[in-house]
Copies of this chain bind each other. A is one copy, B any other.
Amino acid sequence: MEQKKALIVGGGLVGALWAVFLAKRGYVVDVYERRGDMRAAGYSGGRSINLAMSHRGWRAVEKAGILEELRKVAIPMHGRMMHSPTGELTFQQYGKEGEAIYSVSRGGLNLELLRIADNFEHVRFHFHQKCNGIDPEQGIAHFEHTLTGELTTVKSPLIFGTDGAFSAVRASLQNRPRFNYSQSYLDYGYKELSIPPGPEGFRMEAHALHIWPRGNFMLIALPNMDRSFTCTLFMPFDGEISFESLQTDEQVAAFFNRFFADAVPLMPGLLEDFRENPTSALATVRCSPWHVADRVLLLGDAAHAIVPFFGQGMNAGFEDCTLLDELLTAHGERWEEVISRFSRERAPDADAIADLALQNFIEMRDLVADPGFLLRKRIAATLAERYPEEFMPMYSMVSFSHIPYREALRAGQEQEVLLARIAAAPGIENNIEQHPDVDRLFREWKAEMTV
């Protein structure tokens, strides 16, 4: 029997995970990665250092066999902790009791995946190999060693592009006829800051994702295993309140004192962090098709990079692997069938989570401080509890289920109709539980939806 072989371009999160899936199927897998071996050199990713892992991510790492190990280094966040301008705290639970998204270190997760992939005899990692493009017709990829400059050409019957938002594999597809592509930047940037551990450990509630929503900008914080928090400031690049407008230490200090007064005492390194850390941009990348014939396929950020506001970038990439693996099982590894089908069927879900992530930015930075929005959230929670079989809030569909993203998007739009109707019922804000209209409005809506 012919040996089963595959080439993976990019050994980041999705590339390493996909190597595991292929290795389990008996493939000889070569993984080419631009960076050095992080087991030797430490992690040096360009992206945010925290990830929020939820159901879709967990299912994939479970399949890869590292669920238990990861659980030990993941911190559950049960809800959002909102910080008002005057320092008042409001907690908003994400899902049902016991449901949580998990703060995970990107570097740690990548290391773990690398380790488990490398344990397979037939998985070979090649580091410091920058991809200079592929020839999809020939099934050839070109690499350049970043230290020696040596050029290598690799031929493979299967090439997977898991090389991220700035994918070189995708760039090689871009000039092919009928390749649709878009990259779209927000006018907002982000900068990472830090809250170090206090003498008694975490300096804020550990099991929450903290948000300081301020309308047009926001600060968030996620807990780390070392009892620190990684903070991220999201703000317009230009304009009155913007990264542009914060040039001096004095300006930064005044800005934080004005808008994030309760956080300032927790951030002793604020001014230095602000000066030293880069201001990064936020892009959404969409393209189609993700494949060429039965030979080349983009996965993860290379196919669909999204903004981070739903915490679904890695989860979506990992779900790519799970779904592709399921298709392989369903179609007996007939790649000619599986690759085009995956490319066609998965794309609408990638589009949906891209839209949802953009939507969630508005929700996080602005709406979570809006009484009307908070009321609708409370109504949704009540409905979810009262009708557990019939009403799953959109956030839960995305984070705590495997329902296709496109269905979550559509359901969310339908739910907004119901929530607005209930929110308009007189006296509802003080009496969601007992209000007589809730059940009637729910039943009416349900009947409309099932027409």
Contacts and interface: CB of A to CB of B under 8 A. Distances in A.
Interface of A: 166, 174-175, 177-185, 237, 281
Copy number in the complex reads: 2
Contacts of A174: 183
B184 A177 contact: no
A194 B302 CA distance: 43
A299 B344 CA distance: 35
A395 B180 CA distance: 29
16 contacts: A166-B175, A174-B183, A177-B185, A177-B281, A178-B185, A178-B237, A178-B281, A179-B185, A180-B183, A180-B184, A180-B185, A181-B181, A181-B183, A182-B182, A182-B183, A182-B184
Contacts of A184: 180, 182
Contacts of A185: 177-180
Contacts of A281: 177-178
Which residue, A175, A183, A281, has most C-beta atoms of chain B within 10 A? Answer: A183
Contacts of A166: 175
A167 B281 CA distance: 24
A294 to B, nearest CB: 18
Nearest to A284: B180
Contacts of A180: 183-185
Contacts of A179: 183, 185
Nearest to A237: B178
A178 B186 CA distance: 8
Contacts of A178: 185, 237, 281
A183 B170 CA distance: 13
Nearest to A286: B182
A174 B182 CA distance: 11
A179 B185 CA distance: 7
Contacts of A183: 174, 179-182
Given A174-B183, A179-B183, 6 more contacts: A177-B185, A178-B185, A180-B184, A180-B185, A181-B181, A182-B183
A174 to B, nearest CB: 8
A379 to B, nearest CB: 37
Contacts of A237: 178
Contacts of A175: 166
A174 B175 CA distance: 13
A340 to B, nearest CB: 13
Nearest to A186: B178
A180 B284 CA distance: 10
Contacts of A181: 181-183
Nearest to A280: B177
A345 to B, nearest CB: 17
A367 B207 CA distance: 59
A433 B237 CA distance: 57
A68 to B, nearest CB: 40
A237 B178 CA distance: 10
A183 B180 CA distance: 6
